[in-house]
Structure 1
């Protein structure tokens, strides 16, 4: 009688905090924050909710960890010959693209200003603001202006993208909006009518970076008050 060879059992990858966070990001991308439950996460990981609680204490911690994992991926170390302006542009575009790919990121960053993800971004911006030579008394203002612009425009772009999921839908949306602008009352909306064509043809990322450049130009050109740094 022939003996049957026993097939080796397939070993599943052990559950870890990293696997849980990765699965949470995937769930957030597809179902949004409302769809992130420990039951749904347990099904995705083929485990029980209790095993997940061993690694994370609750949804808030999981949201923060997922946000931090995405944001950390945008933190690109600059080279020695990178200017502060170039470093800020690279960081800003990284966060913009991260919010575009993961729309829930924008809400999480704005909701938790004292948590690690937001602090990562603010710290990187602040160090480059210092490198620009902005006086200490104006550094918070300059860094905050950049941060608020990045999060505001990034979040708005993500919200717009959810409204038109394809390039075709985006084109149709802009065509309709531009036509509406062009037909506004010329006396009341002279400027808006005049830039209707630019609305139709604009590139979101290019406009975003142009806004960053405008802020950087203002930061470097302004005559800031020079207060001594605290000892």
Structure 2
């Protein structure tokens, strides 16, 4: 019986994802390539291609890997609390990996674990509290986009560096041209890296989405132009 190649045993999708995330977290998105990943794993880059085929496939592995850590909801739990826990869990996972956020860009996030641990239970729970399918999808989409946007805006691992960068940028502005920014620097800076902005906005969306409340207007039928 022919012997299986060594890489089949230890270069699992999980190990590839963990190693790719380690590179992204320590060296940034510019350092990740099939060649650098192969060097870390001690295999040829052709081996990585066999598992991922391209960069999108590699990033899908990474996203699905972290999605496996999303909190599971218990049927019958309070909808608002479960919804907040679900999306703040996603926010925490995404902010821990800014390099992944930078590379994913506009690519769709449709891996099995993400659909299983986030999308399917979120829609199920929304419908269970009385939303129509359309309302359930709209509520989910608003919370999901809020989470992605807030997670990708700054590097949350180093808020001091973010604030220092904003301070330096505003300090170089002409006060006559930018009176609001330059004149209110001390009030602006604490808010730039404040995670509570996300948590507060998420709670507002949750309150407005519950059936029977006065939520935001349904703009799903609007057309551009």
Tell me, yes or no, whether TM beats 0.5.
yes
Instruction: Name the structure 2 match of 1:205.
Output: 195
> Are the structure 2 counterparts of residues 194 and 116 from structure 1 closer, same or farther at C-alpha, using a change threshold of 3 Å?
farther
3-state SS, counterpart of residue 51 of structure 2:
coil
Q: Deviations over 1:135-161 (max 9, x none)?
A: 234222222111111111111133xx4
> Are the structure 2 counterparts of residues 172 and 215 from structure 1 closer, same or farther at C-alpha, using a change threshold of 3 Å?
same
Distance 2:23 2:170 in 1: 35
Structure 1 residue 196 displacement after superposition: 6.5
Larger radius of gyration: 1
Distance 1:110 1:131 in 2: 30
3-state SS, counterpart of residue 139 of structure 1:
helix
Residue 15 of structure 1: which of 10, 27, 45 is its match? Answer: 10
Distance 1:27 1:155 in 2: 18
3-state SS, counterpart of residue 133 of structure 1:
coil
Structure 1 residue 68 displacement after superposition: 0.7
Structure 1 residue 115 displacement after superposition: 4.1
3-state SS, counterpart of residue 91 of structure 1:
helix
Within 5 A, what are the aligned runs for 1:205-224? Answer: 205-220=195-210, 221-222=213-214
Give the TM-score normalised by the residue count of structure 1.
0.69
Contact 1:112 1:118 in 2 (8 A): no
Pairing 1:71–2:67 present: yes
Instruction: Name the structure 1 match of 2:41.
Output: 45
Computed over aligned residues only, the root mean square deviation of the Cα atoms, in angstroms, reads 3.7
Contact 1:110 1:151 in 2 (8 A): no
3-state SS, counterpart of residue 42 of structure 1:
helix
Unaligned runs of 5+ in 1: 1-11, 226-231
Distance 1:177 1:85 in 2: 39
Give the TM-score normalised by the residue count of structure 2.
0.71
Contact 1:32 1:104 in 2 (8 A): yes
Distance 1:218 1:198 in 2: 28
Instruction: Name the structure 1 match of 2:121.
Output: 124
Distance 2:119 2:129 in 1: 15
Contact 2:29 2:100 in 1 (8 A): no
Q: Deviations over 1:68-106 (max 9, x none)?
A: 101221x21134563111111112111111221111343
Question: What count of residue pairs does the alignment treat as equivalent?
Answer: 204
